[in-house]
Amino acid sequence: MSWRSGSVLFKEIWPLLQKHILDQEERIEFTAKLLEILVNEDMDAYDVEDLHAEVRAAMRKIGLSIAESERYQQDNLTCSASTPQKSQWWKIW
C-alpha cells in the first residue's frame, strides 16, 4: 500500500471509529493499533495528525512523533492504559 492510500483509507475510517466506538479511551487504543499497522505498511502519519486530538493521542501512545506539535499544545488527551494513574477511592461513582 502506498503512503498516500494509507492516509486516505484512515481518513475514511476515522468517522466510523468515532461513530461506533463510543468510549474515548477504547477508541484511542483501537486507533493506535490501526495506526501502527498502517504506518508499518508505509503510511505517513503526518498526513493524519491534524484530524483530531484523539488521533494525536493514539500517535503518542505508539511512539509516533507529532510533526507540528506546537500547533497542538492544547491537546490534553492521553490513554490511561499507557499512563497508569492512582485510583481515587473516594470517587467511585
Mean pLDDT over the full length of the chain: 82
* Alpha-carbon span 51 to 15, nearest angstrom: 10
pTM, 2 dp: 0.75
- Average confidence (pLDDT) over 78-86: 49
* Alpha-carbon span 43 to 6, nearest angstrom: 5
- Per the model's pLDDT, the better-predicted residue between 41 and 90 turns out to be 41
- Average confidence (pLDDT) over 16-30: 96
Phi/psi at 47 (5° precision): -70, -15
Which DSSP state fits 13? Answer: H
Query: What's the burial of 9, exposed, middle or buried (CB within 10 Å: 0-12/13-18/19+)?
Result: middle
**8 Å CB contact between 32 and 58:** yes
Please state the domain extents for the chain. 3-72
- Average confidence (pLDDT) over 15-38: 96
